[in-house]
Structure 1
Amino acid sequence: MSIYEILQHYWRYSHFRPLQEEVIEQVLAGEDTLALMPTGGGKSLCFQVPAMAMDGICIVVTPLIALMKDQVEHLHAKGIEAVAIFSGMTKREVDIALDNCIYGKIKFLYLSPERLMNELVRERIRYMKVNLFAVDEAHCISQWGYDFRPPYLHVVTLRELHPQVPFLALTATATLKVMVDIQEKLQFRLRSDQRSAVFVKSFFRPNLAYLVLEEVHKTRRLLGIIKKTGGSGIVYVRNRRETQELTRFLLSEGVKADFYHAGLTTPERSKKQEDWKKNRIQVIVATNAFGMGIDKSDVRFVVHMDLPDSLEAYYQEAGRAGRDEKSAYAVLLFNEADKLRLLKNLELSFPTVKEITQIYYHLGNYFQLAYGAGQNLSFDFDLADFCHRYQLEPLKTISALKFLERDEWLTVSESVYIPSRLRFEVSAQDLYSFQVAHANLDGFIKTILRAYGGAFDYYTPFREADLARKAALSMADTLNCLQQLERYQIITYIPQTDKPQLQFLRPRSDSQHLSVNRQHILERKQIVTEQVEALLNYLKPDDCRSRKLLAYFGEQQKQLCGICDYCLRQNKKSRLQESANKIIAELTAALAHAPLSLDDLVACLQTGDEQERISVIRDLVDSGKLKLNQGKYYL
């Protein structure tokens, strides 16, 4: 099928969006490509369509596990074979998935970048018939980017495995420096006749009005924005507690609102997302955990109640408004306290080497690892509990974990829901023998076989509550049966988890042998300081907001957007000045014949209302251009 037939057959679209077709053609020509497409620009089709047009499998590297799982489900719904490998899966599950990619009909393999640090995974990829490497959120590979993730530095090892396979790097936000760095880190190759490997969709959003408002009473201003604007909206706040507090306030004011943060269970998150997408609620109040992969085009406003960490993050989050190209608003509310908090967070984000070493030491104790043990082990990780137990500052701890990731001591994945799974570890014949010898478990095993027949071949997801109902047992008895079967080594049973995963990449080290790159910390601090300064500069009311954002991303825009708060103020000033000039002309003509009283003078003017006319007269008196004598004005 042609790319147009693929687009129609699988996605039911009759035409490509701007830039998609050009990117796809370059990929099909076997060229390394970097595509910058703002949030909602249809980045995923840029690798999904060409991959479907070629023989073999497309390997997609992405750090967002929730998005990874979401895309796999969407592909399955279209009849396209896809699998995902991420933290929390067992070695055997990974092994089966990789086998299917080599010998089966899988078209897409989604990987988190941490997986590329595993020699086994890299070796299995060597035997796959790969047609494309797609690197999503490609800005994560650059230390100049706002969301640098060290495991991304291993993506380039894929080139060693399949030297002729092209790379497609995709991102919504990148400065010119980051664009250059992405290409260097991925070792892009250009033909001698090829001018550039970069496709950039303009960052300009003509329908999106950027408003930056200094405000002490933010909640009241927010309420006014919601009621004046109407329609669906997102309100971003700093932490989980604020999502709930602000939601309660909005509900008390008659606004249909709900809250969202990473601490919710997956079913809760899914329901809240669905209610908002279907407009059963108007406003979702969320931390920055909300938004990735949310495809809702009719968002009329995005309000930030706190300062974001960078302009890249702000542009991406604000860009979730107005994807239907109708008028929408991106509002940033701030005050002096927010600036001080941002600068304080900057300092907390760069712990000393001594502090990083201490946090690593606490991790070893928290997971009860002996020195020299723990390599490649993964654990559920409750950051809040860890910080509480050792009296640690959360932001400083998160930053320390990132630097430990950079030096490849460990990796931390995002919070993700992984359902319970089970798999038979014996043959059907051995299982039958076990059933004969253990009559008390025979009925339970038969229930599993009826409900989950594929459990001999692969890890089968299931819900304990469903199994209990089918087996006519209580939940406690069901769990007891599962645990007995696991003790007898008949099955492997992995309970569900909804926590981030922390994996130790090396054996636990003592503090004398824990190497932390001090120079990297200093370099990162300089980069983040520049990003904070750029954000603070954006707050100044000295230019068009759109023009400022575009300049930050290296795009020159001469004309004003005409709809941001700066442009609206300038337009108002221009209108007032034009009106004042007309009033002065009329006033000069009226006083050319004889002096007039204030009432007569105001009455004979045609332009403006009474207040505007009096204001101009006062200004002229103050500047000495108009004189007053015995109650009458004259030139």
Structure 2
Amino acid sequence: MQQPLDILKKYWNHDKFRSPQDEIIKSVLEGKDTFALMPTGGGKSVCFQVPALIQPGICLVVSPLIALMKDQVQNLQKKDIKAMALTGSLSVDEISNLLDNCRFGNYKFLYLSPERLEADWIVERIKELDINLVAIDEAHCVSQWGHDFRPAYLKISKLKKELSNVPFIALTASATKRVQEDIVKQLALKEPQVFKKSFARENIAYMVFECEDKLHRLQQMFTKNPGPAIIYVRNRRACHEVSRQLQSLGFTATYYHGGLKGKEKEANMQGWLKGNIQVMVATNAFGMGIDKPDVKTVTHIQLPENIESYYQEAGRAGRNGQKSFAVVLVSPGDVPAAKSQFLDALPDKVFLKQVYLKLNAFLQIAYGEGMEEVFSFNFNDFCHKYNFPAVKAYNALQFLDRQGVLTLSREFSEKVVMQFLIPSREVVRYTSLNPADEEAILAILRNYTGIFDAETTINIRLITTKAKISEADLMQLLKRMEGQGIIGLRASGNDGAIVFNEVREDEHTINRISKFLEQQNTLKVSQLESVLHYIADTTHCKSRFILEYFDEETTTDCGICSYCISKNKVQLSPLETATAILELLKEKALSSRSIEQQLGLTSKDTVFALQLLLDSKRIILNDHNEYILK
């Protein structure tokens, strides 16, 4: 049997494991249930991928994040490791075919969402596979006290009974002690080996700065530290706006959010990953599976929703071990804005029921129907038609998604409708003259027998998989055939799609899940209060604050966060500050911003001192909004 280090060298080109990866892998190979708490950047995927590759059979990976599943599958395939994911709106036949491939095709990894385990027939098919390990990623989702609780995860304990001789490994990057204990209980792990890596990131300086002009502070930061940077914002409009503003200041910047087409996402991401672009402005859609080691600065210019998410996003800085910065920029309006966005937008049971009923009406789903149907969905049209507040409605839909009632896709999808306009014998003649196109055309003909008689919606992913070509090549072929009059083609973009995972049952559906809604709303209030405490606390080390939030005891300040720096800095009294300002103004007229920069003051201290000098008539403002001696 190959050794773990041999596998690591062969596929990852590393000479040694990071602690405690080797201990976790040893536990799994010994057939023990294992719990691994490893902060962002700790290399969790290696902990289940290495032992799965050593042993015969296939590893089942349960993950709630489609983007992360796709990313991991692509990375494994690049290493010539056979892996697949059951993602998207696949039919029963398509899933069955893929599971057959897993069983007979020597696959090493099968990724699926926890919702797939709610189908008994899928569980039965999984039992037929030679499973060597079950990995539960983002395991905090199994706990009702976790920040993204999904009831579908509770079904995994049923799988544990069915695969009683198979070791299970639960992995998460952020979980309090209460959540850790709940994960072990809910997954029914048997005397698990528990491994916890410290949440301490000694090379990250956690900073909180109050500032009126955030763009100016960003300009200062990226000029002083010109390395790769991420700015997290809360919405798509801010992505474009901040990126454009940074470009106007001479920085290379781009953006990333869930509303971009796949090609644009990839182009923007690659430009940043390759170092051609300094700043990525993004929503939280960006980051999963992104491992760029030299990120110098991660900045939040709007408050995060909870410490768990903040820690994961901030943790994308400094993975190369070099000093880096995790910064929150706060202005006076941010706290009420956060409360409005996160708390006022929490749906209650009445609103949730409204959204659910109107959604069924919008998509014309009759009572008792809708299960496993896929619907194109324009979220903006939906909100406009029923006069729903967008954020609150989206939160309601996300809750329905997490509860497994439906699956909401925010990825750009292209609906392709086509029909052959020439007889089948002419299509055969065309393929004989164009052998490079044969596989794709045959895949379409085999899967859509009525495509000569009527317009037919085709599944792009299915055809590209069958024909072993890229989506871009397939679309190019279809457009070429359309231009030659061989097919009629309609391709339209939709900003989302919805798959209903159960039949419409109105009151019964809402009553069943509303208890979780109340509990999660209470949790979200508590989590936001922790964020507000983090930014407002001026008496504790920021790094220690985060460690203590995750129940990690420490008695040592980090020495590099904004609190530690301010504590060690000699504080000027208002009178001393005013005196220093007067000395500066003897040289030339200065703006308040220039005074603040030159003296290294906070905005608050600068404004206070300037007001004292104005009130005492020692200085005045000139026509250029600069201060001069009177």
Q: Above 0.5 in TM-score?
A: yes
Q: In the TM superposition, what are the counterparts of 1:512-527 in structure 2 within 5 Å?
A: 514-527=510-523
Q: Counterpart of 2:463?
A: 460
Which residue in 2 is equivalent to 1:149?
A: 150
Structure 1 residues 5 and 343: alpha-carbon distance in aligned structure 2, compared to 1, 3 A threshold: same
Alignment partner, residue 269 of structure 1 = 265
- Cα distance in 2 for partners of 1:273, 1:63 equals 22
Check the 8 A contact 1:141/1:148 in 2, yes or no: yes
The one-character-per-residue Cα deviations of 1:238-287 (angstroms, maximum 9, x if unpaired) are 11001111111111110111111110011111111110011101001111
The 2-side partners of 1:94 and 1:420 are apart by 21
Secondary structure of the structure 2 residue equivalent to 1:285: strand
1:91 Cα shift? Answer: 2.8
Deviations 1:464-494 (A, max 9, x none): 87458668945455782679xxxxxxxxxxx
1:394 to 387, 390, 395: 390
Match of 1:68 in 2: 69
Verify: 1:374 aligned to 2:370, yes or no.
yes
Aligned ranges 1:179-258 → 2 under 5 Å: 179-190=180-191, 197-258=193-254
- Which position in structure 2 is the counterpart of 1:33? 34
Question: Offset of 1:209 from its aligned partner?
Answer: 0.3
Listed as ranges, the gaps of 5+ residues in structure 2 are: 448-461, 577-598, 600-630
d(CA) in 2 for partners of 1:468, 1:237: 33
The equivalent of 2:487 in structure 1 is 480
Q: What residue is the counterpart of 2:591 in the other structure?
A: none
SS in 2 for 1:460: helix
- The equivalent of 1:586 in structure 2 is none
Which residue pairs with 1:451 in the alignment?
Answer: 437
Query: C-alpha distance in 2, partners of 1:90/1:449?
Result: 29
Q: Tell me, what secondary structure is at the counterpart of 2:238?
A: helix
- Cα deviation 1:543-590 (Å, max 9, x = unaligned): 00000000000111111100001000111149x99xx9xxxxxxxxxx
For residues 475 and 304 of structure 1, the distance between their equivalents in structure 2, rounded to whole angstroms, comes to 47
C-alpha separation in 2, matches of 1:266 and 1:469: 16
Distance 2:85 2:544 in 1: 40
* Cα deviation code 1:39-92 (max 9, x no counterpart): 111111101000011111100111221221121122122121111101223333
> Does 1:554 find its partner at 2:554?
no
Of residues 350-359 and 531-540 in structure 1, the stretch that sits farther from structure 2 once superposed is 350-359
SS in structure 1 at match of 2:35: strand
Q: Given that residues 233 and 299 in structure 1 are in contact (C-alpha distance below 8 angstroms), is that contact kept between their aligned partners in structure 2?
A: yes
Equivalence for 1:565: 562
Amino acid of the structure 2 residue aligned with 1:560: D
Question: Deviation string for 1:143-199 (max 9, x for gaps)?
Answer: 211222232222222213211111111111111111111111101111xxxxx6221
Considering only CA atoms, is the larger Rg found in Structure 1 or Structure 2?
1
Higher mean alpha-carbon deviation, 457-466 vs 222-231, is at 457-466
The whole-number CA distance in structure 2 between the counterparts of 1:181 and 1:513 is 25
Residue aligning to 1:545: 542
Partners of 2:268 and 2:8 in 1: how far apart?
30
1:86-485, aligned counterparts within 5 Å?
Answer: 86-190=87-191, 197-405=193-401, 408-415=404-411, 438-446=424-432, 450-451=436-437, 453=439, 459-461=462-464, 462=469, 466=473, 473-475=480-482, 480=487
More deviation in 356-365 or 19-28? 356-365
C-alpha contact 2:479 2:489 (8 A) present in aligned 1: no
Q: What residue identity is the alignment partner of 2:327?
A: V
Contact 1:265 1:498 (8 Å CA) reproduced = no
Q: Which amino acid aligns with 1:442?
A: V
Moved more, 291-300 or 509-518: 509-518
Secondary structure, counterpart of 1:155 in structure 2? helix
Letter in 2 for 1:441: V
Deviations 1:570-623 (A, max 9, x none): 11149x99xx9xxxxxxxxxxxxxxxxxxxxxxxxxxxxxx9xxxxxxxxxxxx
Q: Structure 1 residue 316: deviation in Å?
A: 0.4
CA contact (8 A) 1:464 1:475 kept: no
* Contact 1:64/1:414 (<8 A) preserved: no
Aligned partner of residue 515 in structure 1, secondary structure:
helix
Distance of 1:440 and 1:453 partners within structure 2: 16
Partner Cα separation in structure 2 for residue 31 and residue 136 of structure 1: 17
Which segment is superposed worse, 411-420 or 153-162? 411-420
**CA distance in 2 between partners of 1:86 and 1:390 (Å):** 31
The aligned counterpart of 1:54 is 55
Q: Which moved more, 1:59-68 or 1:279-288?
A: 59-68
* Match 1:532 to one of 515, 528, 535: 528
CA-to-partner distance for each residue in 1:485-512, whole Å, 9 max, x for gaps?
Answer: xxxxxxxxxx797754422222223457
Instruction: Say if 1:298 and 1:324, in contact at 8 Å, map to a contact too.
Output: yes
1:418/1:496 contact within 8 Å kept:
yes
SS of the equivalent of 2:44 reads: coil
- Residues 262 and 412 in structure 2, CA contact (< 8 A), matched pair in contact too: yes
My pick for the range that moved more, 380-389 or 108-117, is 380-389
Distance 1:477 1:66 in 2: 37
Q: How far apart are the structure 2 equivalents of 1:330 and 1:225?
A: 11
Evaluate the alpha carbon distance shift between residue 133 and residue 472 of structure 1 in structure 2; reply closer, same or farther with a 3 A threshold. closer
The alpha-carbon deviation at position 223 of structure 1 amounts to 1.2
Which whole-Å CA distance do the structure 2 matches of 1:444 and 1:308 have between them?
Answer: 56
Secondary structure in 2 matching 1:170:
strand
1:275 match: secondary structure: helix
Whether the 8 Å CA contact 2:413–2:497 is kept in 1: the answer is: no
- Measure the CA separation in 1 of the matches of 2:118 and 2:495: 22
**396-405 or 363-372, which moves further after superposition?**
396-405
Displacement of 1:449: 6.2
Which AA in structure 1 matches 2:20?
A: L
Cα 1:166–1:225, aligned 2, differ >3 Å: closer, same or farther? same
Deviation at 1:405, TM superposition (A): 4.1
**How many residues are paired up?**
551
- In structure 1, the partner of 2:451 is none
Q: TM-score, normalised by structure 2?
A: 0.81
Which residue type is aligned with residue 346 of structure 2? F
Distance 1:400 1:247, change over 3 A: same
Once residues 472 and 567 of structure 1 are traced to their aligned partners in structure 2, the CA distance between those partners, rounded to angstroms, is 61
Q: Aligned AA for 1:274?
A: Q
d(CA) in 1 for partners of 2:97 and 2:434?
A: 21
Name the aligned partner's letter for residue 225 of structure 1.
M
CA contact (8 A) 1:56 1:131 kept: yes
Question: How far off its partner does 1:402 sit?
Answer: 3.8
1:523-546: per-residue Cα shift (whole Å, max 9, x none)? Answer: 222211111111111111110000
Equivalent residue number for residue 632 of structure 1: none
Secondary structure of 1:84 counterpart? strand
* 8 Å CA contact 1:7, 1:14 repeated in 2: yes
SS at match of 1:502: strand
In the aligned structure 1, how far is the partner of 2:476 from the partner of 2:567? 68
Q: 1:419 to 1:168 in 2, by over 3 A?
A: farther
- CA shift at 1:515, angstroms? 2.6
**Which amino acid in 1 is paired with 2:202?**
P
Of all paired residues, the percent bearing the same amino acid is 41
Inter-CA distance 119–72: structure 2 relative to 1 (3 Å threshold): same
Supply the distance in 2 between the matched residues of 1:399 and 1:176 (Cα, whole angstroms).
27
Instruction: For structure 1, list consecutive stretches of 5 or more residues without a partner in the other structure.
Output: 191-195, 425-433, 484-494, 581-610, 612-635
Shift in CA distance, 355/531, structure 1 to aligned 2, threshold 3 Å: same
